[in-house]
Structure 1
Amino acid sequence: MTTAVLDIGKSNVKLVVFDRNGREMESFERPNEVVADGLYPHFDLAGLQQWYVETFRTLPMAGEIETLVPVTHGAAAVLLEGDGTLALPMLDYEYSGPDEIAGDFRAVLDPFGKTFTPDLPGGLAVGRQLFWLERRFPEAFDRVASVLFYPQYWSWWLSDVRSSEVTSFACHSHLWFPMEGRPSDLVVASGWDRLFPPLRPAFQRVGTVRPELAAKTGLSPACEVLNGIHDSNASLVPYLRGQAAPFAVVSSGTWTICMSIGGRLTTLDPARDMIAGADFTGRPTPTLRFMGGREYAAIAGA
């Protein structure tokens, strides 16, 4: 089975093609640039779509690709209207704008012992993004029909099927109770629960490539699209399938993510940016992180 991975990190965007034995066949990369103008700093989704279309079109084996898997960074969601247009641009989580509602948001937060998400600055939590966007742009927010986490935005773009998935739902978002395996009380109290499409497993087939996209890219209309997964959790999957707890996995990129499998949630310290998300099966995952890739780039002068 030939598989193409749409790998969208905070700093770089990739398309990587693997053969049925897991060997890399092709790899393409470009920077993931933030657009500074407009309502607020945001990502150029249309530009990324065009890059993927053009890159697929250069692949002689595009029509032989059987499976597409979206893998993206966390703290990211896209707000769609019913017809698929953007209700608002996709916020860059490093933007400090949401800090203006910090006090109001803190007043409605669920306890750390329920969400295992600290009170993070800027847009580092999707719940904080939604809270700010709803208050800052109420008319546009009223048009939102679906909130798609970033991997599921791309599976929707590929297949026209809207879904949610637990690794992004639980990614330091304030939107998920990892121990209970359900959306947080904040989600329900805010009325956002109606905006999240049904949960589906990360590696579930959600559909096939849209015919019009297949025609543009050279992909087969029979090419299957999987639901997609948060990038650090994707790196954890092989170890969960092949190794017994306890163990730790370190995932590096813009962020250095340290995940403790079999670790205790009771020892997490929110003041030290410790969190707990959920792995692809929904099990809580104690985690700490820091911007190791960003720090390395600064030190190296990149």
Structure 2
Amino acid sequence: MNRTPVIAIFDIGKTNKKLFLFNEDYHIVYEKSARFNEVTDEDGFACENLEALRSSLFESLREVFKLEQYDIRAINFSTYGASFVYIGENGEPLTPLYNYLKPFPEKLQEDFYAQYGDKNEFSRQTASPALGSLNSGLQLYRLKHEQPEVFSKVKYALHLPQYMSYLLTQKAVSDITSIGCHTALWDFDHQQYHAWVEAQGIFEKLAPTNVADCTTQVSYEGHTLAVGCGLHDSSAALIPYLANFHEPFMLLSTGTWCISLNPFNHNPLTAEELEADCLCYLDYRGNPVKASRLFSGYEHEVQTKRLAEYFNTGPARYKSIAFDSAIIPALKKNPLLVKDGDLLPFAEVDLTAFNNDTEAYHHLIYDLVRKQVISSNLVLKGTAVRRIFVDGGFSKNLVFMNMLAAAFEDLEIFAASMPQATSLGAAIALHKHWNHKSLPTNLIELKYYLSNPAYSPTKI
């Protein structure tokens, strides 16, 4: 029996935990998902169930190794970021996996910035807006000052992707995609850990840094496997695009947050950009990726619920509204909707001004695209980007995509789709370690949207 060579990818989100097997053409040939009930930390705050996660890893591997049709050659991990697992000398966790949403003590944060300079300048240097527990380096600072006896026992602080890898390899490493993602640990000016990391005794708790395509050979269930060190999910999702496209591009990743990722913008982060919610990531090759964020997905959800309630429809209706290029010019003639020559922000509009919910929805998307242009331009300026790829929920929204194409009339706008981009990226990162075929060039399905400035949110 000829067994299919595959790579196993564990994709661990806050809610869903998934296992995928990809064949050498990067098609998913097996998938499994699970959910775990959260536990609480010593303060009663909800957090990840580490023991359930560990047990599920080994249980899932035992299951897939029984599938005789597959030859598992490699394993990698992609997980959410901003979460440390503190392990002791015996490799066991010393604390719960503290939730990055847990409120950070205000006094402790004030003390930190008082020691290490102006908050805005520090945030610029580390490309890390002051986000409390979302700055995972500050979680380590908190542990040292609130639980010094536990801190003293920490052998290594591992971000969650690297902890999952450690469970199989027993090798502690740090990964640049996790270290470089709003952790407040990395000095982007000097491309090294920030001075505070050593001053606070944090550096010695961090494992040696490995490149993202490194592997460790592991014997498991009688098989020799190449096990990756794991990736931060935002960086993993960018990998298929970097692998397939070499001309400068920007990726607009849409969901609850709409994140503009420009891997071709290497300009240092400015204070103004930071104030406008820009930050920098490090990609899997260690290069900076400038990013800007907008809470558009959440706003879309809130406003479509408002529309559904007023027009007595279901929110699902707004996933499939057809684009009508005549609506926005017509709305611009309605004095109830216009101020200073442009449409009012949608949240300020009385819905009685619309004839129907299709008109109202076009106004909502117009407003979101108008904000998106401002956000994306923060990372586009000064670069040679000629293409924008849009993935996630808004890539399937005809109203959004047509308006975005109109707004960026000098750029090529594509809706991009691929199955499980984050997991796919984690698989591609290890391509040379398991896959004897060339990397496919058709991993990403693209749909081009022609620009028509007649209904551009930046022109009308």
Name the TM tier (shorter chain): 0.7 to 0.9
**156, 165, 183: which is aligned to 2:175?**
165
Name the counterpart of 1:95.
Answer: 102
**278, 281, 286: which is aligned to 2:290?**
286
Shift in CA distance, 266/95, structure 1 to aligned 2, threshold 3 Å: closer
**113, 123, 131: which is aligned to 2:124?**
113
Name the counterpart of 2:361.
Answer: none
Query: In structure 1, the residue corresponding to 2:145 is in which secondary structure?
Result: helix
**59, 63, 67: which is aligned to 1:61?**
67
CA distance in 1, matches of 2:227, 2:7: 10
How much has 1:73 moved relative to structure 2? 1.1
Q: Deviation string for 1:66-85 (max 9, x for gaps)? A: 10011111111111101111
CA distance in 2, matches of 1:32, 1:185: 38
In our comparison, the structure showing a higher alpha carbon Rg is: 2
CA distance in 2, matches of 1:207, 1:250: 36
Choose 292-301 or 174-183, whichever is displaced more: 292-301
CA contact (8 A) 2:189 2:268 kept: no
**19, 23, 27: which is aligned to 1:23?**
27
Name the counterpart of 2:83.
Answer: 76
Name the counterpart of 1:274.
Answer: 278
1:13 aligns with 2:23: no
Query: In structure 2, the residue corresponding to 1:86 is in which secondary structure?
Result: coil
Name the counterpart of 1:125.
Answer: 135
CA contact (8 A) 1:276 1:287 kept: yes
CA distance in 2, matches of 1:265, 1:196: 25
1:140 aligns with 2:150: yes
How much has 1:259 moved relative to structure 2? 0.8
Gaps of 5+ in 2: 306-314, 317-460
TM-score when normalising by structure 1: 0.87
CA distance in 2, matches of 1:108, 1:297: 41
AA aligned opposite 2:242: L
Query: In structure 2, the residue corresponding to 1:270 is in which secondary structure?
Result: helix
Choose 273-282 or 98-107, whichever is displaced more: 98-107
CA distance in 1, matches of 2:229, 2:202: 21
CA distance in 1, matches of 2:152, 2:291: 34
How much has 1:109 moved relative to structure 2? 4.0
Name the counterpart of 1:262.
Answer: 264
CA distance in 2, matches of 1:66, 1:297: 42
CA distance in 2, matches of 1:293, 1:21: 32
**236, 239, 255: which is aligned to 1:237?**
239
CA distance in 2, matches of 1:17, 1:179: 39
CA contact (8 A) 1:167 1:279 kept: yes
Choose 16-25 or 105-114, whichever is displaced more: 105-114
Name the counterpart of 1:52.
Answer: 57
**224, 227, 230: which is aligned to 2:226?**
224
AA aligned opposite 1:127: G
How much has 1:282 moved relative to structure 2? 1.0
Gaps of 5+ in 1: none
CA contact (8 A) 2:21 2:31 kept: yes
CA distance in 2, matches of 1:87, 1:113: 32
Name the counterpart of 1:247.
Answer: 249
Name the counterpart of 1:41.
Answer: 46
Name the counterpart of 2:212.
Answer: 202
CA distance in 2, matches of 1:101, 1:185: 19
CA contact (8 A) 1:249 1:259 kept: yes
Name the counterpart of 1:2.
Answer: 6
Q: Superposition RMSD on alpha carbons, in Å?
A: 2.5
How much has 1:251 moved relative to structure 2? 3.4
Higher relative contact order (CA 8 A, sep 6+): 1
AA aligned opposite 2:249: F
TM-score when normalising by structure 2: 0.59
